[in-house]
Amino acid sequence: MWCEPNIRMLAKGHLYSAVLLFVLRGATEPRSVEAQISSGFNFLVVFPENIAYFYPEEPHNQVHVTALHDNTEVTVAIRKQTHTETLAAAQTRRFFYYGNAELGREDISDKVVRVNSTGQVTVYAVSVKAGSVQSARVLPVNVLGTEYLVLPVPKIQGTTQPPDMVSAYVTEFAPFRLVVVNAEKVNTVSLEGDSNNTREVELEPYHAAQFWLDTDKAWRVLRAKHPVAVLFGHPCTMTNVTLNCSCSMLYAALTPKRHDKMAFLVPPPLTQDSQVQTALLLSQEDSSLVDSSYPGWPLVELPGIVVLHQPGLLLPLIPQSELASCYVVNTVQDAHNFAVILVHKDLTAGVRVGSGPPEDPIWRTLTGTDYVSTVVKLSLDNNAIWHTSDKIAVYYMGEKEDALFGNPAPAVSQTSDYRGCVLSPEVLEIGPEALGWQESVKFCRDLNLHLVSLSSLPLLDQVQAKIRQEHTGDGFPKRAWIGLRRSTLTGAWYWINRETVTVSNWKGADPKGTHGGQCVTISLELDQEFDWSREYCCQNVHPICYRGPNLFPM
């Protein structure tokens, strides 16, 4: 946010197209859907019926809000009741709703919790009743859609099997549902199936509708006039038929329909127990399928959605094209909390959980792909899980009374940085004009940047990688000033950020003696290894201006 004025100024004109590209990527990098859908300012939360609305135990429904920036004012509201609090960066606040927010079986309800904030936040919804727990990543309102694919109903012994037992009258044998949450406009929502089956409802602002998915209708798609949020699931699926009444709520928050074919990496089995049945629920435009041959497929490609099902768990998979560099992972009290991380097999060393690498990770191969996965235990309230140089997939998982639950973790950044989880990325910009070194220092400072000090090896690597990535070939400056020069007082080289000179990349031997130039350029020619040379400070060379990233505190 704080770098925007500069960008506007720079974007006005007079820069190299290459240079302009730098600036845009640095500060307002176009973000893929997955990054956009995870943090935001406005959210709608609904708590579907858990076990049964009359079950004699109070629900402990929770909205977890994590602020990304300091002084974030968060308001949660249900009906006319509102509550406002100010959060610090990285602070997670759990708002509790007991009996008053859970849906019953009404078709239409006004029990929708609205969350808004003055700064970006991530939001989890957690439903707890007795041992039945479910968590969901809540999508911000601005990325909700008007079209959602309906998932096929999984085969669950004691709930959907045998099929002739499915009946609206018995909780654990009731049909699966869609819960649709309307945003701020009066809306029309219709559920469409094969053979021109259609069911339509009108929805007032901030109301939720429930659709029972009678399986004989082959429901395919849900459409709305204005954007809505959609949950798919069941209040009470059997997790183990030999244990009477050991049912648990099963819900997944769906993402709006996308039209491109996408690849989904399927995490390896989360349990060693071969008794536990796992299936993939696959849905695309005109077909849906439950595939129980899992773990036969480490990678699934289709223009639709893929959700992994295990007893207690419906886990929407993150498409490979929408992996992110940093996720904020909350935890649920009184549960065993962990995360599943998927990363390219050559880049496991760059995975961080909080400020350090995971402890003794065991990496399992996703056969037939370049990816590996691991499971890490979570102990803090919220955990940044990130990568120093690449994009990864992260799922939050919890376990309570032997039932799993979980969700894709909310992504907060698409830009990786060796220093941490990026809230606003570093800015790297090559000045449009060749200037003397001293004028270059001023030029950068006037933009609220600094002539770059490449004072550490990871920074050197990251800057070089970025220049390589953005290099536009002919017409790109051949060399540029960096913030290194020799003291006329002591003769020693120093960085203008005052860090000691511990790394260098001189062309040939380290320059000795006071003759020759007292300032330093870096080569930008791609076949030159970015080596440094001393130059006379009054020469005219393009400056590299720089500012570090703004990071999520850990």
Site residues for ligand NAG per CB under 6 A: 75, 77, 82, 114, 116, 118, 195-196, 240, 242-244, 275-276
Closer CB to ligand NAG, residue 276 or residue 380? Answer: 276
Closer CB to ligand NAG, residue 244 or residue 514? Answer: 244
Closer CB to ligand NAG, residue 195 or residue 514? Answer: 195
Q: Which residues, including other chains, have CB under 8 Å from residue 344's CB and lie 6 or more apart? A: 370, 371, 372, 390
In the complex, what is the shortest distance from the CB of residue 101 to ligand NAG, in angstroms, rounded to a whole number?
A: 15
Closer CB to ligand NAG, residue 75 or residue 389? Answer: 75
For residues 505 and 487, is the Cβ–Cβ distance under 8 A? no
Dist CA 168 CA 52 (whole Å): 12
Q: Structure tokens of 332?
A: 């649920």
Q: Which residues, including other chains, have CB under 8 Å from residue 75's CB and lie 6 or more apart? A: 82, 83, 84, 114, 115, 116, 117
Three-state DSSP string of 306-354: EEEEECCEEEECCEHHHCECEEEEECCCCCEEEEEEEEEHHHHHHEEEC
Dist CA 64 CA 61 (whole Å): 10
In the complex, what is the shortest distance from the CB of residue 246 to ligand NAG, in angstroms, rounded to a whole number?
A: 8
Closer CB to ligand NAG, residue 197 or residue 284? Answer: 197
Closer CB to ligand NAG, residue 22 or residue 206? Answer: 206
In the complex, what is the shortest distance from the CB of residue 204 to ligand NAG, in angstroms, rounded to a whole number?
A: 16
In the complex, what is the shortest distance from the CB of residue 240 to ligand NAG, in angstroms, rounded to a whole number?
A: 4
Q: How far is CA 459 from CA 2, 231, 489, in A?
A: 22, 43, 28
Closer CB to ligand NAG, residue 100 or residue 367? Answer: 100
In the complex, what is the shortest distance from the CB of residue 154 to ligand NAG, in angstroms, rounded to a whole number?
A: 15
Closer CB to ligand NAG, residue 144 or residue 463? Answer: 144
Q: Cα-flanking dihedrals φ and ψ of residue 351, to 5°?
A: -75, 135
In the complex, what is the shortest distance from the CB of residue 195 to ligand NAG, in angstroms, rounded to a whole number?
A: 4
Output the furthest CA–CA distance in the chain (Å, rounded): 92
DSSP 50-106: -S-TT-SS---EEEEEEESSTTEEEEEEETTEEEEEEE-TT-EEEEEE-GGGB--S-
Dist CA 316 CA 230 (whole Å): 13
In the complex, what is the shortest distance from the CB of residue 227 to ligand NAG, in angstroms, rounded to a whole number?
A: 17
In the complex, what is the shortest distance from the CB of residue 288 to ligand NAG, in angstroms, rounded to a whole number?
A: 17
